[in-house]
Amino acid sequence: MIVDHPVFKSTKSFGLYAILWILTMGIHFYIMYGFYGQSIAIALTDSLVFNLLYALFGLSLWFAVGFTKPTKTNLFNVIFNHITSLAIIILIWISLGSYIAKSIIDNDDYQYFLTDTIPWRIISAVFLYSIIVLIYYLIMYYRDLQDRYQNELELKETIVEGELNLLKSQINPHFLFNSLNSISSLTTSDGEKAREMIVKLSDFLRYTVSKDDLRFTELGKEIENVIRYLEIEKVRFGKKVQFEFRLSGECQEKMIPVMILQPLYENAVKHGVYESVETVFIRTECIMQKDHLHIIIKNNFDGDSSKKGAGIGLKNIRDRLKLIYKHDQLLKTTKTENEFIVELFIPYKVGNEKI
């Protein structure tokens, strides 16, 4: 609990607490010296003794506040607790303060002065108590709020991770079974090619189902898997599938979220190749910008085909990017009469350092 104490949290906060009390001492001293006409020595001693004492009590008040959170206790109890602790503090403060001050200043006039100013001291004790408690409560609520925000963030991360795993394990059954059918056909016509395709399909599946916690991968690795996927589709559809990648070596070393590109190519094949009788070109380009990687994927499609539903895959990607990079403009799509363009903007730095 002492670690939690806002005053001891850093030298800065401790310094601030000290400065505030020095200011209070200054005011105290000024009132005694200026209004009551006490000597400098008396004004200084009185101010020092009473304020130092209260500064100590002030520190302990944190525990009183932590003990009586209005959210946990009912309001009546809170008020009752504070009145009690206020009464105790006033009692100890004035008696202990007077005792110490009197033992330093052996002077009858000062004795009378002390007795005369007790009502004023009580009022200032109440005033200081209120301010300190108020500030403590504010700090506590601020911390609560931050905790809650942090928890929410963590919760969101867990959800994203869950979604990612779901995405990873979601192999399109249509793709899988049709590929197996192609292999079945190739075994008699071209055994070597069949073997090659089995290896490609296996590598693709391995990458897709790999359950390691890896959340980022090099662009080059992700592209390697995409190429595997496209080559399998090429065995199925022949010349109808054409693809081209223009990536510099430097681009390929940049980190991107794992499996962020794959759904885009599946979309291109689904809406381009599956729905068209003409050749579909899938072109990928990558440009290094100052603070982000600009990836452009273009494919032509049959403008007559009316297939809808590219939405969910794209939305998933947009959501994932937003959660990882804290920015919601990282995916842009453009659809012309017969071309679909997806642009990704992958920042070099992750939005939340924690990731």
Length of the chain, in residues: 355
What letter represents residue 230's amino acid?
Answer: L
Residue 107 vs 185, nearer CB to another protein: 185
Residue 70 vs 303, nearer CB to another protein: 303
Cβ 273 to another protein shortest distance, Å: 8
Q: Residue 283, SS3?
A: strand
Cβ 176 to another protein shortest distance, Å: 8
Relative to beta strand 331-335, strand 339-347 is antiparallel
Cα separation, 185 vs 270, in Å, equals 22
Residue 33 vs 281, nearer CB to another protein: 281
Cβ 282 to another protein shortest distance, Å: 16
Cβ 249 to another protein shortest distance, Å: 35
Residue 31 vs 205, nearer CB to another protein: 205
Cα separation, 132 vs 125, in Å, equals 11
Cβ 238 to another protein shortest distance, Å: 6
Residue 9 vs 174, nearer CB to another protein: 174
Cβ 334 to another protein shortest distance, Å: 19
State the residue for tokens 């070393």. Answer: 253
Residue 11 vs 189, nearer CB to another protein: 189
Instruction: Specify whether the CB–CB gap between 197 and 236 falls below 8 A.
Output: no
Q: Which residues pair with 249 in a beta bridge?
A: none
Instruction: Specify whether the CB–CB gap between 88 and 57 falls below 8 A.
Output: no
Binding stretches for another protein (CB under 8 A):
173-174, 176-178, 180-186, 188-189, 235-238, 274-277, 302, 304-308
Cβ-in-10-Å burial (0-12, 13-18, 19+) of 108 comes to exposed
Cα separation, 354 vs 350, in Å, equals 9
State the residue for tokens 């897709």. Answer: 208
